[in-house]
Amino acid sequence: MTPSLTWLDPDEPFPCVDDSWGHDSPAPGLLAAGATLDVWRLKAAYANGIFPWFSQGQPILWWSPDPRMVLYPAEFKLHNSLRKTIKRFRTLPSCEVRIDSDFSAVINACSSSPRSGQSGTWIVPAMIEAYEQLHAAGTAHSVETWVDGKLVGGLYCIAIGRAVFGESMFAHATDASKVALSALVGLCRTQGVEMIDCQQNTAHLASLGGREVSRAQFLTKVHEARANDELDWTFKPVYWDSLLSSPSSV
């Protein structure tokens, strides 16, 4: 039997995340539908462990899955091949990491990147517009891989205090998205971020050290982190040092 679903009016608060659909439902983790993608609504969602995810032609759907896939920066698996890539990358004048230099290009590239097992994208035009507004408000950020003056990979994420929520990555060159993710992990390690939200479990994230935690554990960490000072979204070479000083992974 399909459970009932809360439909939100534009100004209506989110229901309790414990009301999300369970594992025996058609859509585990689904919490509510409707409302808007305004900046205040998105901030309220992420601050409470909720995120929007829907396809073109669907209403806005809000999710809070249990368990939750996360990446602890301290547990990031820097495999030897990626370690060599980063060592080489940081020495070449033609290679650089930039933060927030072209958020629009990053989110649009993420939207158009093909995904294994998916025929379309959840980063629909309404989402792009909403997250560009969130970026203008200082809450959404892009970490970018540049080579020879061209954007070749990157990711975008949300940050509230020291709570960081990863959204999507893209790569137009080998390891370009992994370089951006490594830079984000280095930033988080250096500035005391304990956890990066990855939302859904994937083999790729698991290979880099991601793991599942209960929603209750996740929300406890989010509530602690969001109360801290905002991060400094400037890339610094010391971020590489924090990664390369870690033991190698196979």
* Per-residue pLDDT, 249: 64
What's residue 113's pLDDT?
A: 79
Distance CA 62, CA 113 (A): 23
H/E stretch holding 178: helix 176-190
Q: Are 51 and 199 in contact (CB under 8 A)?
A: yes
Coil, helix or strand at residue 79 = strand
Task: Give residues with Cβ within 8 angstroms of 2, minimum separation 6.
Answer: 25, 26
The DSSP annotation for 114-151 comes to: --TT-SS-S--HHHHHHHHHHHHTTSEEEEEEEETTEE
pLDDT at 200: 87
Per-residue model confidence (pLDDT) at position 119: 45
Question: For residue 1, what pLDDT is reported?
Answer: 66
Q: What pTM does this model have?
A: 0.95
Give CA–CA dist 44/40, Å, rounded: 6
Identify the bridge partners of residue 163 per DSSP, sorted by sequence position: 160
pLDDT of residue 150: 98
What pLDDT sits at residue 248?
63
Which element (helix H / strand E) includes 243? helix 238-244
Strands in 68-139 per DSSP E: 68-71, 95-99
pLDDT for residue 114 = 63
Q: Which residues pair with 154 in a beta bridge?
A: 144, 170
Q: Which of 109, 102, 137 is nearest to 123 (CA)?
A: 109
**What span, in angstroms and rounded, lies between the C-alpha atoms of 219 and 44?**
13
What length does the chain have?
250
Residues (pLDDT < 70) of the chain are 1, 114-120, 248-250
H or E segment and range at residue 204: helix 203-207
